[in-house]
Amino acid sequence: MSTPTTDVEAVAPVYKVYKRRFWGLAQLVLLNIVVSWDWLTFSSISTTAAEYFDVSESAINWMSTAFLFAFCAVSPLVIWILNKGGPKQAIVMTAALLLVGNWLRYAGTKANGGIFGLAMFGQILIGFAQPFCLCAPTRYSELWFSDRGRTSATAVASLANPLGAAIGQLVDSVWATKPSDIPNMVLYISIISSVAAIPSFFLPAKPPTPASASSSNTPQTPLLTATKQLIRTWEFWQILLPFSIYVGFFNSISSLLNQILSPYGFSETEAGIAGAILIVVGLITAAIFSPLTDRYKHYLGSIRVLVPIVAATYIGLIFAPGSSAGIAPSYVVMALLGASSFTLLPIVLEFLAEITYPLSPEIGSTICWTGGQLLGACFILIQDALKMGVGARVPGDMRNALVFAAVVAVVAAPFPLTIGLFGRVVEKRRWIVDSGIGLRDAVGDEGSKKVDKVDSVDSGGSGVSAKDSTALLR
């Protein structure tokens, strides 16, 4: 005799993760690698590239700077596409822009012995591609992964971007040892980027069923309303400001690393090794700590430990290049900076998604990444201007530029360190929903807020609405 099906069982949602999610994650990884490699194609060999195009090193710096400004210009469109179309459309946009930009850039290096303007135009198109893949990981991980794998998925996809930078630092200096090697180097990179882009057009748009209770309810709030609500949230600014500053300095240091080290007699190859150490050590450390964060959800505690280490490494970078011990201190500082920064990045992005749920995660992450790229471009220009002249004790010394970075990094540190203090209540809202606890607007007569258990995951209720989120994020 069959057992009657209850009403709860009849409407109970199915939450499931699918193996195909790793195909999309792998594609995001590939795209972030090649986009970042494209970004630093010329900066890692700035002296050689300047000689080939017959321009100054400052003009070569603009290849990286324009790339970052292009990111900022297209970021509103990125938010809209990720919010309305999901990560699949963003991935396709990345692939299309990569294909066009890379081959235009190759034409600019090959035609007539090098046409700097055409190469720059191709570089800008690739810059338009970067935000579509760099801002997609939080949206993709929420759509395809459960709470037990989101931080790791975000880490893998986001940190593939600096991995591409590391590859560029190492490989480009080997492929282009003299100016005449530049066209072939760009050709090889264009072929690799094209092969990496093609699978983007064949990925599924979304899983057949939601991966979790929180992903089944996102996005709930209209895009404009959600953006306004986000920028009125104090904790968002406590994350946005330091995130933008630290990502900005990472971008500028990565772009200028050869120019930071070369005044002290270090070669482009040694600078490439320093950049690779920065990335590889960071990736290994992040690979260790991201699964631990997925398991224990210690977002805020990790932030309070890692932020002071990041600030301290920028102080150490002032003294490392000119050390009498040679290149070794610079390698050590790069390793510490990479380990702390890379571990911190996915934790911050996932923490932001947690505390601003049910607002769709790509809004906050795209704004944060845009701030980082904008400040990165500004920092490159400022630090390049602070470079010492030929009459200095060490011609081309960038010590003043490194002092500037250290001071700003230290000033930014208190913002994330004070999250949750001074009477502010910070909840991991998305995790609460996935754990079977619903968020409701329970604001009392004195304006106090509390979290109630109202629904279970099995019954499919999240207990939170777009209306509720406005009160919860005040």
What letter would DSSP give residue 10? H
pLDDT band at residue 240 using 50, 70 and 90 as cut-offs: very high
In the prediction, which pLDDT does 447 show?
35
In the prediction, which pLDDT does 437 show?
58
Which residue ranges make up each domain of the chain?
17-417
Higher pLDDT, 79 or 216: 79
Task: Output the CA–CA distances (angstroms, integers) from residue 45 to 122, 168, 249, 359, in the order listed.
Answer: 18, 10, 19, 42
| 218: CB partners within 8 A, 6+ apart | 142, 357, 358, 360, 361
b/e string for 379-416 if b means 16 or more Cβ within 10 A?
Answer: bbeebbebbbeeeeeeeebbbebbebbbebbeebbebb
pLDDT band at residue 320 using 50, 70 and 90 as cut-offs: very high
- What is the C-alpha separation between 153 and 164, in angstroms, rounded? 17
443 pLDDT above the threshold of 50: no
- What is the C-alpha separation between 382 and 368, in angstroms, rounded? 21
Secondary structure (H, E, C), 136-185: CHHHHHHHHCCCCCHHHHHHHHHHHHHHHHHHHHHHHHHHCCCHHHHHHH
Neighbours of 84 (CB within 10 A): 10
pLDDT band at residue 68 using 50, 70 and 90 as cut-offs: confident
- Three-class secondary structure of residue 250 per DSSP: helix
- What is the C-alpha separation between 130 and 197, in angstroms, rounded? 12
What's the one-letter identity of residue 245?
Answer: I
Per-residue pLDDT reduced to its tens digit, 257-271 = 888 998 888 887 888
| 113: CB partners within 8 A, 6+ apart | none
In the prediction, which pLDDT does 471 show?
45
- What is the C-alpha separation between 427 and 451, in angstroms, rounded? 9
| 201: CB partners within 8 A, 6+ apart | 92, 95
- What is the C-alpha separation between 161 and 39, in angstroms, rounded? 10
Per-residue pLDDT reduced to its tens digit, 131-156 = 999 888 888 888 888 777 887 888 88
Q: Name the average pLDDT for the chain.
A: 82
10 pLDDT above the threshold of 60: no
In the prediction, which pLDDT does 220 show?
59
167 pLDDT above the threshold of 60: yes
What fold is seen in the domain 17-417?
Answer: Growth Hormone; Chain: A; (1.20.1250)
Per-residue pLDDT reduced to its tens digit, 369-392 = 999 989 988 998 899 889 887 777
Mean pLDDT of 220-235: 83
Token couple for 319: 């003294």
337 pLDDT above the threshold of 90: yes
Neighbours of 64 (CB within 10 A): 25
Mean pLDDT of 348-357: 87
Element (H, E) at 270: helix 268-296
Give the helix, strand, coil percentages of the chain, each rounded to 5.
Answer: 75, 0, 25
